[in-house]
Structure 1
């Protein structure tokens, strides 16, 4: 894909997010865009980061002239595979992207991920949380983590069961070296929007229960990473604060 194609696709996704926020009565900067770079060539990822910087700069200039609303935050980068994160991150370090790890993580790969990722969105077991906490102890700042919840119950999806998610969240929140920032899910694989939306509502209700419960370490756990290229509008309508987009920006893998 040419750089201009990436820029046009990114601008179109930014506009989708903006319009979805408006339709939901939310501020235009209420949702952060995460670019899922799995299996994407380095050149395309670099082009997306550079295009985002240009688009945001243009937005800031326009906002200054029009006294418009806030400009959205820079895109995040999300990687599903440890080997791709380790390969890409050093070559994009000059752009200083914020990497989130969004795939299954084995305990023996924690050290490699912590070299680059600012957030791990896929904590689905206390053992992984404990491992991350032990390794994050030497970091200059706490590691941001999200609890991944399988809201649909589909066996093909990763994540803790909703019935066990609150206990896991409180376990994570109590660990030194970690900062619980919210919850992540992959929506149900269903053509029925009501089914998908019900899962998103369940995740939002879980988030609200944890944040309002007042347990130590839960005050910052208001994030909801949910929604992808096909359904970001639905996810935003149901409270997403991060949407994970890949093909809508990069095209098919």
Structure 2
């Protein structure tokens, strides 16, 4: 799955899954461009890639702001791979999700993906093709408690993936999504510390046990799947969503 001379743009690569994806693509030879609202975190990811002998650049980017996204992408001459990983979460039902929280989730998770597609697709067309991976979720496929806004956003990501795959297949552009279940990231640790102080270990084990495989995924495991899907070895795959969920969707009963 070598990606020598490929230019890969990864949003949300300052931490968590996005960072793992950026690091792994660089290890496979890609020149990685890191986009993150937290420019200090983006710089850390870029520095780590460079320290390990890779090539990386970073830009502070607000994916929810189309003007900013277009400005950043105008600085990127060529794109082979786009990974839409930036996202936010939210806990709540339809009746206790505020308009402000709904808009925040929509603006980052839905509009953010759209903005990056809008800016990247013409460059991929000019390039003669390329690969897009969108970060969906098992929340796009099954009802989850207290995930109203988040599920809305990931359902939209899944639908956008199918639409882009259909519209741009003749341009040599492949578009797929992946749907992780719970992944052990700093976000999970922060969530537990905030909401279950003193019971973090107990709640972590409880959340892990909801997946038939008995644990959460690691960010690296998500990154390995993405590295395959953007490689030439996956050249016959488009318009597909890949659950990476420890059996959550099919084995829970």
TM (normalized to structure 1)? 0.36
TM (normalized to structure 2)? 0.36
